[in-house]
Structures are given as C-alpha cells and as structure tokens.
Structure 1
Amino acid sequence: MGNLALVTGATSGIGRAFAERLAAGGYDLVVVGRRRDRLAEFVAAHPEVKVKTVAADLSTTAGIEAVAEICATEPLTMLVNNAGVAHYMPLAQLPADKAAELVNVKVLAPTMLSRAVVAGMRERGQGTIINVAGMIAFSGPAPHSQMPRRAVYAGSLAYLVAISQTLSAELEGTGINVQVVCPGVVATEFHERQGLDMSRVPRMTADEVVTASLRGLELGEIVCAPGVEDAGLLDAVFQANLAAFGAQSPELATRYRAV
C-alpha cells in the first residue's frame, strides 16, 4: 500500500507547497480547498500521482463533517491541517461571523479531522499529523506597543501548539507522529486576502516552511519553528511551562492571602 496524504487549504501557500512536495515524493493525495478551479488545476498539473479533490469550506459544519468522513475511511498516512484565515483584529472589532469562521477553521476543523484519522492510523501502526500554526502562538505576553492585538487568531494558534504536544504524548508508542509547525511571516496570498501589504516585510517562502517541517519530523520535533535558529529557546519555554505546572499546590499561594 502506498502513501496517501490529505492536505487542507491545498490550493495556495503552505498547503499547496505541502501538496507539491508530497506529490514529488510519490504520495497519492486528497487535496481540500474552497476553489474548485484551483483544485482542478492541481490535478491537471500532477498526472503522475492519484489526486482526489474535495471542495469543502472548513468554516462550516458540513465541510468539516465531509472531510472528517474521508479521514475516518481512507487509509491516510499523513494529515496536514493547514487551512486558515487571518482576521487580524482585536476581539472587540472582530465581527461575530469572522470570529466563528476563524475558530472553526483553526480549532474545530483540525480537532475533528485529527480525531477522525487517529483510529485508522493506530490500527495500521503508522501515521503523521501535521498542524500548521505560527509563531504568533507565542506572542501572548507581548505588550500592545510591540504586537498588534489579535486575540482570537493568537489563541487559535496557541491551541494548535497545546493539542499537538498533548496528542503526541497520548499517541506515544503507536507509530503516529504529531507535529505543529510554527512559521513566522510567509510569502503567500494569506495576508493579501486580508488586505495587508506585506511586500516590504522579509518573508520565508512556503517551500522553506515545508522543508523545515519534513526535516523536523526526521529530527523528532513536535514543535517545529522554521525561523528560530536556537531551538534551545523553545525548549526553555516548554521547560518553564512544565515547571509552573509542576509547582502547583493545593495550598493558596502566599501572595493571595490577606495581609
């Protein structure tokens, strides 16, 4: 049986780069996107591999359920949860429909697709789940003067980091690898669709992000940060998290006791 990968948001940017690289590596593909014309274009450009296209909107219940059904029934060896929307706005300015769209695409869809694919991967004893987040996941402590506020977007990416780490631990010994890839600013259509001009900002290419992710899997990285040279910085963050987690006590901390 050959390798079969499902990639969401596969018609542009990082998702397209993943699909291209996997096709070049001999994977058959299930490519998911909203635009039928771009899905058809991808199929025409890759006659050397089997490509199934799924036109689905992962901000909707119907779209998530349709793709989850494929995850549950096809013998996938890799799932790439890449689909995304930006909606860079402070919470008070973020319209309700855009907030729901963002949470559905970046939180609910990866959760439900991963849930659907895990049983089959466990039964087959192998598989890889890659969640595409971003370094904004680590930006929460930044003051407003340093980082524009985008609470829902940052929170959704932080969720992907946490679920990837804990899911990796849950699946230890099963043959399933879990990774979250956290690039910085990437040269794709992503920002332009939100009306943001990033042309003067130094940016990594989508292909470089994929290179880092796949090499990170070889290195055993659960959190892959393509633009962070010193991996020890990430280790320090996670060790601090564990130290705080392990330092909790049933006794009320002194600073909260009445003077």
Structure 2
Amino acid sequence: MSKLALVTGATSGIGSAFAERLVSDGYAVIAVGRNAERLDQLVEAHPEVKIRPVAADLSTLAGIQGVADIAAAEPVDLLINNAGVAHYMPLADLPADKATELVTVKVLAPTLLTRAVVGGMQERGSGTIINVGGMIAFSGPAPSSVMPRRAVYAGALANLLAFSQTLSAELEGTGVRVQALLPGVVATEFHTRQGMDLSAVPRMSAADVVTAALRGLELGETVTAPGLEDSSLLDTVFAADLAAFGGQSPQLASRYR
C-alpha cells in the first residue's frame, strides 16, 4: 500500500516540487491548492499514480476546516504545510485583510492541519510533518536598514519555527517527526506575485529545497536550512535561545532597578 502525503500549496513552487518528488517516490498525494485548473493539470500529468486534487483556500476558516476534515479522516503519513502568501510591507501599510490572510495561511492553517493529523500519526506510531517557513524567521534582530520591512511575515515564519521545535519535543518517542524547513530565496512565482523582480538575484531551485528537506529528515534534523553551509550557526542560535530562557530569575534584573 502506498504511503499517503498531503501537500498544501501544491500547484506551484516548493509545493509543486514536493508533489512531483513524492509521486516519483511512490506516494499517493492529496494535493491542496487554490487553483483548480492547475490541480487538474497535476493530476493529468501523472495518470499512473493516485493524486487526489482538493481545491481549497487556506486563507479562509471554511477552507482550513475542509482540508482538516480530510486530513483527520485519512491515514496521512506525511503532511507538508507549504501554502503561503508574502505581503511584504511594513505593518502600518499592510491592509487588515492582507494581514489576516497572511496569519491565517502561515499560522492558523498549519496549526489546525497539524492538529488534524497528529493524533492518527501517534496511534500508528509513525508520521512526518514538514512546516515550510524561511530564513526570515531569524531576521528579527536586523536593523532598520535591512529591507523590505515585513514584521507580520517575519513573525509568522518565526512562529512556524518555534511551533515545529516545540511540537517535535512534545512528540519525542512517539515515532512522529517534525521538521521546520527554512529556505532562503527560492526561484518560484512567490515573489513575482508580490510585484518583486528578483530575476537578478541568485536563487535556489524548488527541487533543491525538497532534496534538502528529505535529506534533513534522514539526518535527524528538526530544523533544515537548505542554503546554510555551516550548520553549527543554527546550534549557536538555539543554544543562545535556551541560555536566555534558562537564565531568567523571579528577581528583578539589576539593570531595571
């Protein structure tokens, strides 16, 4: 029996590359996307395998619930929370509807879809959840000279990182794996849709991002950064995080007295 993967944002970019790779690896795929025509094209391109297209808008509560219901009812072996929107702009300039869309797609949808599959995975003693974020999750300390400003987007990706790490610890010993996948700039339609021309910027291919994700799982990584050669930098960041967390005291710090 084929393993079953559910991929959101499956009609373009990293999601499409995941769907293509998983199909070639023998998975049955539930492909979720907004564009029904592109979903049909994906199915038609692979008549020899089982691809179930699900047209859903994960920026809406109804869209999330519809996919969550499917995820909870199926024996999903691999969930890839990849769907995303950018909306790169300072908070004061970000329309409320776009802020809501961004947080819904990148925070609420991964949370609820993960919740929908994790119980079944625990019962079966196996499963993998990949949350696709980005290296912008680490950009919070950047000075104002670093552009574009994108507080909501950076915050959403930072949430995905912390969510993945904490969930991985929660699930230790259950056979369920969690990975935060944090690529840098990738050659997809993602930025073009925001009116950004990055054609002159060196970019990683979506296929390479998928290769890194799958190899990262083999290496036992919870956080996979496809373009980061020196992985000890991640160890340094996370050690500093834990040092700050563990260094707190119930006493008021002397600098505040």
Q: What TM-score do you get using the length of structure 1 for normalisation? A: 0.98
Q: Where in structure 1 do 4 or more consecutive aligned residues deviate above 6 Å?
A: none
Q: Residue in 1 aligned with 2:108?
A: 108
Residue 45 (structure 2) pairs with residue 19 (structure 1): no
Q: Residue in 2 aligned with 1:151?
A: 151
Q: Please tell me the residue identity of whatever aligns with 1:89.
A: M
Q: Residue in 2 aligned with 1:162?
A: 162
Instruction: For residue 69 of structure 1, report the CA deviation from its aligned partner.
Output: 0.5
Unmatched runs of 5 consecutive residues or more in structure 1: none
Aligned-pair Cα RMSD in Å: 0.6
The aligned length equals: 257
> Per-residue CA shift, 1:201-223, capped at 9, x if unaligned?
00000000000000000000001
Q: Residue in 2 aligned with 1:76?
A: 76
Secondary structure, counterpart of 1:187 in structure 2: coil
> Per-residue CA shift, 1:147-183, capped at 9, x if unaligned?
3210000000000000000000000001001001000
Q: Residue in 2 aligned with 1:89?
A: 89
Q: Residue in 2 aligned with 1:31?
A: 31
> Per-residue CA shift, 1:101-156, capped at 9, x if unaligned?
00000000000000010000011110000000000000000001123210000000
Q: Please tell me the residue identity of whatever aligns with 1:234.
A: L
Question: What is the CA–CA distance in structure 2 between the aligned matches of 1:146 and 1:223, rounded to whole Å?
Answer: 24
Q: Residue in 2 aligned with 1:252?
A: 252
Instruction: For residue 71 of structure 1, report the CA deviation from its aligned partner.
Output: 1.1
Unmatched runs of 5 consecutive residues or more in structure 2: none
Question: What is the CA–CA distance in structure 1 between the aligned matches of 2:172 and 2:243, rounded to whole Å?
Answer: 22
Q: Residue in 2 aligned with 1:208?
A: 208
Q: Please tell me the residue identity of whatever aligns with 1:190.
A: F
Secondary structure, counterpart of 1:248 in structure 2: coil
Q: Residue in 1 aligned with 2:67?
A: 67
Q: What TM-score do you get using the length of structure 2 for normalisation? A: 0.99
Q: Please tell me the residue identity of whatever aligns with 1:62.
A: A
Secondary structure, counterpart of 1:179 in structure 2: strand
Question: What is the CA–CA distance in structure 2 between the aligned matches of 1:144 and 1:220, rounded to whole Å?
Answer: 36
Instruction: For residue 49 of structure 1, report the CA deviation from its aligned partner.
Output: 1.3
Identical amino acids, percent of aligned pairs: 73
